[in-house]
Amino acid sequence: MTARQNKFKIITGSFISAVACGIESQNWGTNDWRKQFDIMKAMGMDTVVIIRVGEVDSAMYKSKVMNTTIYEEEDLVELMFNEADRTGLKLYLGLYDTEYHWQRNDWDAEVEINKRLIEELWAKHKHHKSFYGWYITHEGMMEQHMPKIWKPLIKKIKTYDSKKKILVSPRYGGEKWYRGDSSKLCLTPELHYKHFDYIFGEMDGLIDYAAFMDGHTAFKSLAGFVEATHKICKKHKVGFWSNLEAFDRDQQNMRFPPIEWMKMRFKLEVVQPYVEKIIAFEASKFLSPYSMFISARNLYDRYLEYIDKKGARR
């Protein structure tokens, strides 16, 4: 491995979510989010990504398009934009995951509702100075043929502002993705390369950045996936980011608690020679002094001690 930059790369961004999905809600209000944005800025972050504004039947605000049964009375998307404006963080705005249409390969239905949502979100939030880009919420590998969703939604976005950056966050289909006998189904780095060479080729240069999730493969396999992904992204001129999962996929019966520090350190170090940027999933729950998880507060302390020793804190 040859280093692309000598300076140690720290976590400079985070996904944020106010819709409970897989991980329980912290039930934060305005003051809680204000403190969290301040701490992210103090940690050296410059980017936040709203992972989704709606999920199934819940949403961050009362939307005419999503028309969910459950929604926040206060518009939490507007709250996030206001805090990003105040702190100078760049914000990527996510979309709506029905968890229904696209997982049945009904791409048209998923695309149609999100196209209307893009119209709604653009009208409400286009004035914010922190509005830096869009996050295409739908994650992916080959099973759902993601370009069928990504391409029409990005083309819709580009009709409003072609300069807004586009971020996606696919996964490595390794040992921790498939259930059952994963040895028969999990990908090798070589097959992962083949899949995303095809996917990025279909996207015609519409993606600016891809933050690959680092948690779906065994630790011993991670370096191989990272190196293969670096080659794919370089070939297709896609910025390669790491989506560092700060929760522990090895403890699934505990509903994903904060990750053990030595695992997080390992993942930080593996990606150093290859990625342009490291963002966390997600700092507010798993890497914050304000988290509902006590171990997340300890992880926050361990992380800051570590990057201070590296002389890398901004």
Q: Which pLDDT value is given to residue 2? A: 41
Q: Which pLDDT value is given to residue 119? A: 98
Q: CB 298: neighbour CB atoms within 10 A?
A: 14
Q: Which pLDDT value is given to residue 4? A: 44
Instruction: Read off the pLDDT of each residue in 290-297 and give the average, rounded to a whole number.
Output: 96
Beta strands in 152-232 (DSSP E): 165-168, 209-213
Provide the residue ranges of all domains of the chain, joining segments of one domain with +: 11-309
- pTM metric for this prediction: 0.94
pLDDT-derived band at 313 (thresholds 50, 70, 90) equals: confident
Q: Which pLDDT value is given to residue 3? A: 39
Instruction: Read off the pLDDT of each residue in 189-207 and give the average, rounded to a whole number.
Output: 95
Asked whether the predicted pLDDT for residue 200 surpasses 90, the reply is: yes
Asked whether the predicted pLDDT for residue 126 surpasses 90, the reply is: yes
Q: Which pLDDT value is given to residue 184? A: 61
Q: Which pLDDT value is given to residue 179? A: 59
Residue 243 pairs in a beta bridge with 213, 279
Asked whether the predicted pLDDT for residue 269 surpasses 90, the reply is: yes
pLDDT in tens, 141-174: 667 689 999 999 999 999 999 999 999 999 998 8
What the block records as the tokens of 95 is 């979309």
pLDDT-derived band at 182 (thresholds 50, 70, 90) equals: low
Please say whether the structural domain 11-309 has been given the CATH code 3.20.20.80.
yes
Percent of the residues in the chain that have a pLDDT greater than 90, as a whole number? 82
pLDDT in tens, 213-249: 999 999 999 999 999 999 999 999 999 999 999 999 8
- Mean pLDDT of the residues in the chain: 93
